């Protein structure tokens, strides 16, 4: 006997804006019942001595500290540019918009 009724499945389908047939209601009721049973079994395994976790393994921060290092000057950066204008890279217009 499923713990979730066809009417509840129909209500969920309506909320999710899913069109389901009568046959699908029966199939989905059985499938959702199995899912609910599986979740209930997991709930029975959980014990007070086991702390809840969000990840199976501990996470560590993979970001490095920001370190200021010497970089290219404006002239060095522009030295390999095919075109330069007012201290910036000059590139062809791609949108065709006038400013």
Query: In angstroms, what CA-CA distances link 15 with 10, 21, 26, 27, 88?
Result: 9, 15, 18, 18, 55
Is position 40 within any domain?
A: yes
Q: CA quadruple 16, 18, 24, 25: dihedral positive or negative? A: positive
Is position 15 within any domain?
A: yes
Range(s) of the domain holding residue 11: 6-45
For the cut 60, the answer to whether the pLDDT of residue 75 exceeds it is yes
Is position 84 within any domain?
A: no
The phi and psi torsions of 88 (rounded to 5 degrees) equal -130, 165
Is position 82 within any domain?
A: no
Domain count within the chain: 1
**Mean pLDDT value across residues 62-66:** 85
Is position 36 within any domain?
A: yes
Is position 25 within any domain?
A: yes
Is position 81 within any domain?
A: no
Is position 62 within any domain?
A: no
- Portion of the chain with pLDDT greater than 90, in percent: 49
Instruction: Please state, rounded to an integer, the average pLDDT across all residues of the chain.
Output: 86
**Mean pLDDT value across residues 8-22:** 94
Q: Any idea what the CATH number is for the domain that residue 27 is in?
A: 1.10.20
pLDDT per position as a tens digit, 16-60: 999 999 999 999 999 999 998 888 887 777 667 777 777 888 878
């Amino acid at each position: 006997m499923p713990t979730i009724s066809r009417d509840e499945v129909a209500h969920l389908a309506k909320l999710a804006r899913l069109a389901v047939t009568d046959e699908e209601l029966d199939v989905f009721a059985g499938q959702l019942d199995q899912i609910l049973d599986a979740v209930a079994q997991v709930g029975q395994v959980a014990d007070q001595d086991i702390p809840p976790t969000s990840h199976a393994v501990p996470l560590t921060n993979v970001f490095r500290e920001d370190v200021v290092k010497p970089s290219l000057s404006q002239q060095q950066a522009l030295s390999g540019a095919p075109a330069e204008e007012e201290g910036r890279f000059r590139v062809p217009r791609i949108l065709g918009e006038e400013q």
